[in-house]
Chain A
């Protein structure tokens, strides 16, 4: 991607520390509660991941926030502006892609942006060129959008966000359709936007991308937010996984079962997989090693598996599912 040619707006912040704030936000479709009393706090100036399995209500929440559909209950604000009361003022500094970005196929990328710029403030038109350049499609700006690939339409969608010089970007699955290089560029661009002081809310099912890009996340399942906070803090609460490569795995398991170490032990061909509860002290790892060695088991390797957002996500969502 090209270097930054846009800068964060100099419009003074209105003082709220939250870019997005919702309280008890609810949206129903008949008997189906798509958004269920959501309490969401997105701090300003960070990349925020919004995660959830398919049908969890991610896109519905975004649509409610943007005024694309009405909430049934609750309150919300964007950049400190209560929505929908001050929707126009709030959205003036918000850029968003919801679902797959679609445009008038018979128009060029530049012409599509002109239509959107016309709906924004007069200065938006001057931002069309830099926005196209920033997302890397300036050379195709005068081609008709019907000839664009999915990835190019994604980039055009981001350019459409940027012409508003947004303080808050809400991107719904922005990596869809991008090749690996494109994903890398998109990740860099999101990070550069955050570095400019903007807030980026990233809804994605690509947990690895979210983990690499975002500072904080919220996990939504069945319309409810079940966890939110900085990724580092959330992962600290994840269970501890160990891989033990050893001789006689079955006897090794029997030795450990006889202790009070606890946790779940799985026997493999090469050794054991041990999952310990979150918050387990590091001394327990040394204790496992001692028990095995003193029991005559040859320990070839003992490795702590770093908890990933993906494994944590699966733990959290499946645990919730199991409890209901």
Chain B
């Protein structure tokens, strides 16, 4: 930095009034970007045809192609292939495809926005305008988000639409077609009317003295030992049980239905509006994180490719490992991983990312994740957003070019 006074050179030759005119006319030194800076930056990113095609292919193309194939298969061979949509397809696509790819796509866009002025030589032109470097950096955030947020939204909307409108008409619970949205009593009544299917196919747990045991063991399911029930957990064995009456069998089916009701209640033909809204917001949050971190990293490194590789490694390799491993003395550091934080914010009803599976019931794999409170998760996400923005802006403001 200059060691002598900046004012010395002018030696009073820059009248204060004139300075005010020049400086305040368009607030060029302000860190807040103008609307036209944001719109032109949006234009610059949008006009990158290759990048835009790649982003659309990943966020919209992959789920669309997957769903179209399922629609066609179901249309031509409905008995061999299930419906294209439905609850399980929705949860699988959201947590398995849109979540991961949305992050990577957003990170790619962010890294591009953060580095491309440097690599293409426009940064000098922009700095020479006298515009604040901070404003030049900040303008990229709304411009990039204006691209990635709608892209993720479009891909997600297609998934929602297909999953709702091409959902199965009957609920398949443990391999049995069951009416949907039954109350506990309703399910018990339905079970009493379909005792063989319930006893043979529903999961249930019985003890030696359970009233279900004689009935369960007297129903010929065809694939169990001695034609007994296929699924018997902790049962005493079929050969000791007397033959049950039809009333006992219906009662056993009622009890099994009552036992399984909590699992049944989490089964839906298609995702609820609430789940779709929460899942959409969650995906957008992930995309925003990916973009902002990618932007900061791209600006910090000054090139796109390395930044994108680092982001992919973080998302696909490091986050799953650090979310599940129990490393002594480093658990607090692990909790600072943004992927773990977003996994903890997974909407109920979706399998938890990195949680070791789970299922349509939701939160099934949450136990495998390193524990973290919602407050800590929110703080970690905010810290990543703010921290990377500060890092990227700092590098841009101090970079020689």
Contacts and interface: CB of A to CB of B under 8 A. Distances in A.
B130 A88 contact: yes
Given A98-B128, A111-B43, A119-B129, A92 B2 contact: no
B19 A119 contact: no
Given A15-B15, A16-B14, A83-B6, A88 B29 contact: yes
A103 B26 contact: no
Nearest to B1: A70
Contact of A73 (B3, B25, B120, B125): B3
A102 B121 contact: yes
A94 B130 CA distance: 9
Interface stretch (B31-39, B257-265, B380-388): B31-39
Contacts of B28: 88-89, 91-92, 120-121
A164 interface: yes
A12 interface: yes
B174 interface: no
Interface residues of B, number: 49
Interface string B344-386: 0000000000000000000000000000000000000000000
A66 B401 CA distance: 10
Contacts, number: 185
A66 B128 contact: yes
Contacts of A86: 6, 14, 19, 22-23
Q: Which of A14, A21, A118, A120 has the most CB of B within 10 A?
A: A118
Contacts of B129: 91-92, 116, 119-120, 164
B14 A81 contact: yes
Nearest to A95: B128
A76 B401 contact: no
A114 interface: yes
B14 A77 contact: yes
A152 interface: no
Interface of A: 11-12, 14-16, 21-25, 63, 66-77, 80-96, 98-107, 111-112, 114-122, 125, 160, 164
12 contacts: A25-B2, A63-B401, A74-B2, A75-B2, A83-B9, A84-B6, A89-B19, A90-B22, A94-B130, A104-B122, A116-B129, A121-B26
- What 8 A-B pairs are tightest by C-beta distance, nearest first? A102-B121, A91-B130, A89-B22, A85-B6, A88-B29, A16-B13, A77-B9, A118-B36
Interface of B: 1-10, 13-15, 18-19, 21-23, 25-26, 28-29, 34, 36-37, 39-41, 43-44, 47-49, 116, 120-122, 124-132, 136, 400-401
